[in-house]
Amino acid sequence: MTSLAIIIVNYNTKDILKDCLTNLLQVAPQETKITVVDNGSTDGSAEMVGDAFPQSQFPQIDLVRTQNNGLAAGYNLGMTHAQYPDYYLFMGTDAFPKPGCIHGVMDFLSQTPQAGIATAKLVLRSGKLDTDAHRGFPTPWTALTHFSGLNKVFPKSRLFNNYFLGWQDMAVPHEIYLCISHFMLVKKEVFDKIGRWDEDFFVYGEDVDLCWRTKQAGFKIYYLPQYECLHYKGVSVGTRKESLDVTKADAKTKARMKSETTRAMRLFYRKHMYNKYPWVINKLVDIGVNLVSKTRS
């Protein structure tokens, strides 16, 4: 029998986490193991899980409490606790898969040998698509067209909007380069081949890095719009306009999250692209990241 483990890393999102778990109990396959890794929350999140979902009544929900070593570290800890299933679903606490979504994405992966990762259509509360779930890798050219706004001027162009893969037909299933870990279903064999999440990424970039290594190992990544997941987006980090009405993130957390966005850019580029480009391109990339960092400080 195919086994699935859902890994959720939580940091101070008690109310949303409760709604998330309530939804999963309704839409996840019956034998699914759900592991909540609480990264040192101070809002009573861990206590809420124990009170609202006691092991005696909900044996499929496990709580792991740890200090905040970042999202990737939390995912790795959750994987260890999950005891090596056939599939892992990594989710944010602000993700709400609709009925049939998890089953459908799992079925697709099981029937598609070359596939290693798949994601669903992520929809914001406004009804708009969360295009971060449908991405290309941030090469220097792709990043330039994105941060300069050229991708908005030419949204359907393969040349100018490789950041969001704007030329793709969003109504049909297709291959993509990367998706975000707010709803990312991964075959166990991917981790067997590439290793686990890179804990150098504290938050942001961990999913880009994982997808890069997955593609380099020969697996494909798919976007499946026939399956839908509601995404509040940014509840734990507090810097996204989509969740300002529900986030409980304090000023210190928001400031760190802004700095982590550009730290992740530098880390990913140094790890995977620095040796692929001449020094002048690397210097320009460094200047560009510094400029982005200043706008976000």
3-class secondary structure per residue, the chain? CCCEEEEEEECCCHHHHHHHHHHHHHHCCCCCEEEEEEECCCCCHHHHHHHHCCCCCCCCEEEEEECCCCHHHHHHHHHHHHCCCCEEEEECCCEEECCCHHHHHHHHHHHCCCEEEEEEEEECCCCCECHHHCECCCCHHHHHHHHCCHHHHCCCCCCCCCCCCCCCCCCCCEEECECCCCEEEEEHHHHHHHCCCCCCCCCCCHHHHHHHHHHHCCCEEEEEEEEEEEECCCCCCCCCHHHCCCCCCCHHHHHHHHHHHHHHHHHHHHHHCHHHCCHHHHHHHHHHHHHHHHHHC
In terms of domains, do 14 and 149 share one?
no
Q: Which of 210, 238, 266 is the last residue of a domain?
A: 238
Q: How many CA atoms lie within 13 A of 79 on its CB side?
A: 20
In terms of domains, do 118 and 50 share one?
yes
Would you say residue 243 lies in a domain? no
In terms of domains, do 122 and 150 share one?
no
CA distance 197 to 210: 6
Would you say residue 82 lies in a domain? yes
In terms of domains, do 152 and 287 share one?
no
| Tens-level pLDDT at each residue, the chain (297 residues) | 789 999 999 999 999 999 999 999 999 998 999 999 999 999 999 999 999 999 999 999 999 999 999 999 999 999 999 988 999 999 999 999 999 999 999 999 999 999 999 999 999 999 999 999 999 999 999 999 999 999 999 999 999 999 999 999 999 999 999 999 999 999 999 999 999 999 999 999 999 999 999 999 999 999 999 999 999 988 888 777 787 888 888 888 888 888 999 999 999 999 999 999 999 999 999 999 999 998 887
Residue 296: the pLDDT is 83
In terms of domains, do 145 and 67 share one?
no
> Is the CB of residue 159 less than 8 Å from the CB of residue 166?
no
Would you say residue 264 lies in a domain? yes
Give how many domains the chain has, as a whole number: 3
CA distance 159 to 171: 21
Residue 225: the pLDDT is 98
Range of the domain at 266: 250-297
In terms of domains, do 11 and 81 share one?
yes
Would you say residue 24 lies in a domain? yes
Q: Which of 218, 238, 258 is the last residue of a domain?
A: 238
Would you say residue 244 lies in a domain? no
Q: If we measure between CA atoms, which residue out of 17, 120, 36 comes closest to residue 75? A: 36
Would you say residue 280 lies in a domain? yes
CA distance 219 to 195: 14
Q: If we measure between CA atoms, which residue out of 66, 67, 71, 60 comes closest to residue 8? A: 71
Would you say residue 155 lies in a domain? yes
In terms of domains, do 109 and 228 share one?
yes
Residue 256: the pLDDT is 87
Would you say residue 245 lies in a domain? no
In terms of domains, do 224 and 267 share one?
no
Q: Which of 238, 263, 280 is the last residue of a domain?
A: 238
CA distance 139 to 162: 9
In terms of domains, do 232 and 269 share one?
no
In terms of domains, do 53 and 150 share one?
no
In terms of domains, do 85 and 222 share one?
yes
Residue 23: the pLDDT is 98
In terms of domains, do 149 and 178 share one?
no
